Structure 1
């Protein structure tokens, strides 16, 4: 068992890394040229599905091995994975604000940075958008606006392990023969997914910000990823079916990026397309076939981009957003291109020198080996 665990630590799922790369490319392009890729922010929806898939798989396998979930180890992994780079970007934003941003905006910017550091930036954005005060409703963006998605995921991390463990406890208490906890989890996740999706659609059409920022309206995307992790036999699908799933999934995601123009009703039911696309790509895997998208997904630059996607996501927005404060004028298109390149480069540096040392230090490697998790599971996607 130890040998299998040791091997599994180094296994990477190329299709998941490719999804991460596609998700962050869509998000960056949307933040810079929304007119050309109006649905690019659906990259966040892809990230949510990937996170739900990986986190659920990791937790369920831990229950299979030990019969329980170690909350201490789970949250230690999340802290190592998410907080070092996130706090580094916040620190950078604080320094740049003090140096270049007019003092009149400091209070608002620093308030949002504090909310981002606490993992509740999504709630801050939601409260501001719902305010009866028109000044609050029309507040401009901040360097940490994109931390709303981290808030949704961190709130998901607070609930998901407890929900899985509660289901395990109820199954054991019920004494039903022949019904494992995985079967019951599918029912639980299904109820969460359906209820949250209905809430998302209703909320979006009532108030787009409520559907966009509220974690209850986004939970269905993470729950769908969890359901996928509990679906047996995906690896036994026929080769042609897996090839078709891979291409169809990519088409659904790219199509959403290019064709969803109605931002006033997103996510809503439109989010079904990127979510279904992410599910299809993961279900298709990396079949060995000359017509398979796996050959594209396994291309080294795509894999590297996906591997650094979290840091790239964190750094790209404050760099692009704060530069006009530095230069004192709007950024021309060629300047935006240079800032994107800079953001990507800083993202790779951040991964190498901030993320990795704390995430893959000696203690983290020992924990991963002992728990038998794959690299993709130990390095779960963020937004």
Structure 2
């Protein structure tokens, strides 16, 4: 994204209004520079939370088109001038243009992380630096978007590098394809441009088809290269088509180009969620940008160049690459240090990012881009790029190894839940975790928040590895619609209990599994990330969650089949549901749908037990504890002010419903008027809404006592 100003030579002048195409030697398109400014400003304002621009992220799509157009135009220009394309020269230009600025920001981001981000994010940031330096951040983001444990977590301080990764992966391949198609054209004595357009079509059509197929249901589709290639290919196709004689009347070109600019703005104003991108909704900004860059030179001053060529916009477009690199790390650091920012303060931070952007452009980008020595010696430019990449990777690794304290080797590694995760912590006892509360949690002094405790297990820096991998691999991601069945407890037990729901059902497993082993219950788990067990369509990321609806149907069929359980155990967080084709206004709309679902299971001969959802905090408790080990009361939230998650809807749905029982163990999770972050030496929450696996394991006796009378004996 925002990858190049190489489309002009330093001595060139702007092309005349009706002048030649953009890849003509010496040509410069001021309107494209201004379009860069529009794109980056949309991204910045969208990230700052400006209410009227919820779809500011479409600036990324605009950048992909601009990049495909300019880079392909440069390669065509070189081929026309020299009869060949130099891969060494191409990659050398990109190395000196992109990598030094990127490495500068990556190193600065490590410093921002050290000073401003909670320690719980240090390890992830270090790996993000490695992935970003290697231009693989989009695949890392895609993997994390499917990991239920990362849902609701603070965004990565380097999240924006995903789009740069997509571009560079495209440009590892596209110049090679151009060279191959040029060779084929010479052998067949056919026109080069026709073959290039055919090649681009063979890239764009499958990519767009894949985007349409996956983006409505798969959150990783937003980041992966395969769903984004078509946008770059559209820009490249415009560059190839621009080499042909133009027959579009100027008035028509101006009308279409202005319509393209309006389409970009309308997309930013009307699209309110990235869910479903880059599918049909991405056509607006993509084709809009294609119209502006493809027809702008024909339209001349009658087209968007009248606006986009203004000096202020061109100035912003000039520094757009550095501006894009800097704004997001500064915004995330400010939010981590100051808390959630209103639009005004967020805009101030975004405005402040212009200063390092200008400095980076002036003292890093420009000197290297214009270096005569590096231009004469492309291998020297390549060595510079390798040095920047290796230096950034090593910095991330050294930060991980030397700075990040107590970081586990992998997230999701098995941790014994009936013993402390920290070997230095005391062994389990009657005062361990929820056991410290005794028989009357609301009256127990162990539940009152204190500033200091002797030890905290799991360590908040390692809370991500607090759940055994055997549990984690059984919860299916957002893209999966088929029920996955895992067995716990006593596999040969005669009594079968089905645990069904989202991660708020799943997080009871550390307490249920050992209780089931002792009572010879067979536990069958069906769990899907951010998907409650309900016969309705819920809303996720602003859109109907269709894979959740299909997963629910699959689970209901399994529960009513030959392996019908003796008891259904379920829980869930709060969700909006679709009512009469529109999202409900509150999570209480979930209540009648839950009631309907549970009644259906009871009618099928399966009694239902609902585990009431616990309170949701306003902050990430593990992060707060990591930063306030000697002032833990700062992390104690007033019980009366906490969001109640799915609890109220569950209570209302279960009231008076025969065959349905509600178990409420909230008092053992938040026993006092202010919820203690650590009870009995155990960290209670792993984030702002999930109980930590270790603390849940200490809930085993309470869950067993409440559940045993309700489990049918066989």
The answer to whether TM tops 0.5 is: yes
- Larger Rg over CA atoms: 2
Out of 143, 153, 158, the position equivalent to 1:144 is: 158
Q: Give 1:61-72 correspondences, 5 Å limit.
A: 61-72=77-88
Contact in 1 for aligned 2:50/2:343 (Cα 8 Å): no
Give the distance between the partners of 2:251 and 2:358, measured in 1 at CA.
Answer: 36
Contact in 1 for aligned 2:296/2:304 (Cα 8 Å): no
More helix by share: 1
Q: Does 1:156 align with 2:166?
A: no
Is 61-70 or 93-102 further displaced after alignment?
61-70
Q: Does 1:33 align with 2:33?
A: no
Give the distance between the partners of 2:223 and 2:150, measured in 1 at CA.
Answer: 16
Deviation at 1:95, TM superposition (A): 0.7
Change (3 A) 1:116 1:290: closer
Is 41-50 or 91-100 further displaced after alignment?
91-100
Question: SS at 1:255's partner residue?
Answer: helix
Give the distance between the partners of 2:304 and 2:230, measured in 1 at CA.
Answer: 27
Contact in 2 for aligned 1:129/1:138 (Cα 8 Å): no
Q: Does 1:319 align with 2:333?
A: no
What corresponds to 1:249 in structure 2?
Answer: 260
Deviation at 1:68, TM superposition (A): 2.6
Q: Give 1:1-383 correspondences, 5 Å limit.
A: 7=12, 11-33=27-49, 35-131=51-147, 134-172=148-186, 175-177=187-189, 179-210=190-221, 212-231=222-241, 232-233=243-244, 236-286=247-297, 291-326=302-337, 328-363=338-373
Deviations 1:227-252 (A, max 9, x none): 11111446553221221122111101
Q: TM-score, normalised by structure 2?
A: 0.48
Give the distance between the partners of 2:96 and 2:275, measured in 1 at CA.
Answer: 36
Deviation at 1:321, TM superposition (A): 1.0
What corresponds to 1:376 in structure 2?
Answer: none
Deviation at 1:20, TM superposition (A): 0.3
Deviations 1:240-281 (A, max 9, x none): 122112211110100100111243212211111111111111
Give the distance between the partners of 1:145 and 1:20, measured in 2 at CA.
Answer: 20
Contact in 2 for aligned 1:189/1:223 (Cα 8 Å): yes
Give the distance between the partners of 2:273 and 2:128, measured in 1 at CA.
Answer: 27
Q: TM-score, normalised by structure 1?
A: 0.87
Deviation at 1:125, TM superposition (A): 0.5
Deviation at 1:114, TM superposition (A): 1.3
Question: SS at 1:355's partner residue?
Answer: helix
Is 229-238 or 315-324 further displaced after alignment?
229-238
Give the distance between the partners of 1:6 and 1:37, measured in 2 at CA.
Answer: 37
Deviations 1:106-165 (A, max 9, x none): 11111112111111000000111223xx21444421211000000000101111111111
What are structure 1's unaligned runs of at least 5 residues? 369-383
Deviation at 1:201, TM superposition (A): 0.9
What are structure 2's unaligned runs of at least 5 residues? 1-8, 13-23, 379-714
Question: SS at 1:265's partner residue?
Answer: coil
More strand by share: 2
Question: SS at 2:350's partner residue?
Answer: helix
Aligned-CA RMSD value: 2.3
Deviation at 1:6, TM superposition (A): 6.9
Give the distance between the partners of 1:329 and 1:261, measured in 2 at CA.
Answer: 23
Give the distance between the partners of 1:85 and 1:215, measured in 2 at CA.
Answer: 23
Question: SS at 2:84's partner residue?
Answer: coil
Change (3 A) 1:190 1:334: same
Question: SS at 1:33's partner residue?
Answer: coil
Deviations 1:343-379 (A, max 9, x none): 12321221111111111111355689xxxxxxxxxxx
What corresponds to 2:690 in structure 1?
Answer: none
What corresponds to 1:378 in structure 2?
Answer: none
Question: SS at 1:205's partner residue?
Answer: coil
Question: SS at 1:264's partner residue?
Answer: coil
Question: SS at 2:228's partner residue?
Answer: helix
Deviation at 1:5, TM superposition (A): 11
Contact in 1 for aligned 2:58/2:282 (Cα 8 Å): yes
Deviation at 1:323, TM superposition (A): 1.3
More RCO (CA 8 Å, sep 6+) = 1
Deviation at 1:103, TM superposition (A): 2.1
Give the distance between the partners of 1:313 and 1:51, measured in 2 at CA.
Answer: 14
Question: SS at 1:145's partner residue?
Answer: coil
Q: Give the number of equivalent residue pairs.
A: 358
Change (3 A) 1:14 1:364: farther
Give the distance between the partners of 2:240 and 2:298, measured in 1 at CA.
Answer: 20
Contact in 1 for aligned 2:142/2:219 (Cα 8 Å): no
Deviation at 1:35, TM superposition (A): 3.9
